Amino acid sequence: MRKFTTQNVLKTVLVAGTLIAALSTGANAADVAQVNVSFADLNISTPAGATVLYQRIRVAAAQVCGTTDQRDLARSAHSKLCTDKAIADAVAAVGNDALTGVYQAKNLKVTYAKLASNY
């Protein structure tokens, strides 16, 4: 039987976005959604493995935070904040340099794209 440790299973806990949503709707803080993301099959010290884990974390965050109709600006903004926070927290929880590098590279591209679109 395989033993699951912090090295091969990450529990993504959405502390900020989902907690805020839960409290604003009267839900209990203990009801915050979470998803287990397994990476026992990956070598996350390599760029390829870290990239696959990053994608799994993104998918899990989207599952928990949900997606909304882009025309509903308030819910769409909340969903994005929740997803961004969940990804950042999960990457920090893993504490792996390669994964952090993938995260930073993806977020730099988004930041530059947003800056360019402002002109």
Q: What is the mean pLDDT of the chain?
A: 74
Report the C-alpha gap between 20 and 48 in whole angstroms. Answer: 34
Per-residue pLDDT reduced to its tens digit, 6-40: 455 665 444 444 444 444 445 454 556 778 888 98
Tell me what the mean pLDDT of segment 90-101 comes to. Answer: 92
* Residue 51 predicted with pLDDT over 90: yes
Q: Which residues contact 36 (CB under 8 A, 6 or more apart)?
A: 9, 10, 11, 12
